[in-house]
Structures are given as structure tokens and as C-alpha cells.
Amino acid sequence: MTSIATADSLTRNDRVIREDDPFPHLVDRIEGRADTVVVTYSSGDKVTYPKRQPVIVVGRD
């Protein structure tokens, strides 16, 4: 099951479906900044999102 969340509500171990890949990416770390959130995935990729940007999360109830 998937749900829509905002980038600033992500937590470690959430699995996010990114626009560039249909497979879920595991969140390793989240760093909040003034207007953005920097999400580091387990692959080492870092993506900067606006805080209120909708993201697709897999398996969150």
C-alpha cells in the first residue's frame, strides 16, 4: 500500500518512490533546513525537497 506524505514528515526507514525510479528507496537520514529537507537514501543518494513537497511512501499506515 502507498500513501502520500510531505517531505518534512519522512522518517528513517520510510520507503519512498522517487520520480526518477519506480522502485522504493530506503530513507537513511533526514536533515531539515529553513525551507527544504535533505533526504539521504541508503544508496548514498541525497535529494533536496521543499518541506511541503508531496512524496509517495510505501507501506506506511
Q: What is the pLDDT of residue 61?
A: 62
Q: What is the DSSP string of 1-61?
A: -EEEEEGGG--TT-EEE-TT-SSEEEEEEEEE-SSEEEEEETTS-EEEEETT-EEEEES--
Q: What is the pLDDT of residues 14-46, one digit of tens each?
A: 999 998 888 999 999 999 999 999 999 999 999
Cα separation, 18 vs 33, whole angstroms = 20
- On the question of pLDDT at 10 being above 70, the answer is yes
pTM of the model: 0.90
Instruction: Give the chain's domains with CATH numbers.
Output: 2-58 (2.30.30.30)
Cross-strand bridge partners of residue 6: 54
The pLDDT value given to residue 30? 97
